[in-house]
Amino acid sequence: MGEKFNKVINRLMFRRALTRWRRAAEAAGTADLSRLRPLRTDARQLRREIDRFLHVADGRLTRPAIGSTGIRKPMLSDWAWRPEIWRGPISPAGLAAVENRTPFGAEATVFHDCGSSELTLRQIRNGRASDLAPFGLRMDVFRFDGSFLSLVIDLPADGLQGLRLSHVIRLDAAVEMERPLEIFARLNIKHGPNSEQIVRELSLGSDETMVEFDLGYTKMNEKRVERAWIDLIFEGPEMNQIVLRDVTVSRRPRAEL
């Protein structure tokens, strides 16, 4: 009985608050400025909490479910991983006027050499029937006066354990864009004082694309691998919206001939 009574009271309080803010919105155009200013402060505080609630609620209620581990990977893969941006909610969920070397979440960093940044990032919720990743990343690029833009994704330590020259590392991505542009993926592996790099261009004839990095063509010291990361490099991104619906990384042993 008590729980039912509380629900009735909560609904009445909600309706009163909704009516109050509806009337305030209708009167905002003619309200006295001395009254309008504190109302605006209250509205901003309320909006911040509502936005925070909606971000979490939308994440939990929209499919695919948060934490989904469904990854398309080749046969014989011994490791597969979806980075944090595409796996679960991050905070803040969006950034504007993104500066060089700005982290986005715990596993990715944006690099560019623009004099004046007109780049925004936002984590979005996927909802297409074909989506396996719960979240996507939207990049809006307006004026771009730099020579490069890249998103650097750090690979986790478990992906480096047992890494051998016989491994092939594969990157799968689902990409949408307003205007055609070139995207390159560069695998970087630091082993001791040295580093290895392999660059591949993503074929963007369809929404889903993949590239492979054969470590057999490197001089990687298997016993001294310290860290690895992948640069996604966007060529000519000006006045474009780029949506990365999903990014996954996997590895498998190369077939022996």
33-61 vs 2-27: helix axis angle to the nearest 10?
130
Give a three-class secondary structure readout of 118-158: CEEEEEEECCCCCCCCCEEEEEEECCCCCCCEEEEEECCHH
Tokens representing residue 235 in the block: 């060529």
Report how far residue 165's alpha carbon sits from residue 31's, in angstroms, rounded to the nearest whole number: 71
Cβ atoms of 191 and 207 closer than 8 Å: no
| H/E segment holding residue 209 | strand 208-214
Give a three-class secondary structure readout of 184-199: EEEEEEEECCEEEEEE
- The model carries a pTM of 0.73
To the nearest 10°, report the CA torsion of 129, 131, 136, 138.
-60
Give a three-class secondary structure readout of 6-60: HHHHHHHHHHHHHHHHHHHHHHCCCCCHHHHHHHHHHHHHHHHHHHHHHHHHHHH
Residue 231, SS3 per DSSP: strand
Domains of the chain: 2-61 (no CATH), 79-253 (2.60.120)
Mean pLDDT per segment of 10 residues, for the chain of length 257 residues?
Answer: 71 86 88 86 87 72 61 88 92 93 95 93 87 92 93 96 96 94 97 96 88 96 96 95 96 81
Q: Which of 162, 157, 224 is nearest to 196 (CA)?
A: 224
- Structure confidence at residue 131 (pLDDT): 84
Tokens representing residue 46 in the block: 């309320």
φ, ψ of residue 45 to 5 degrees: the values are -65, -40
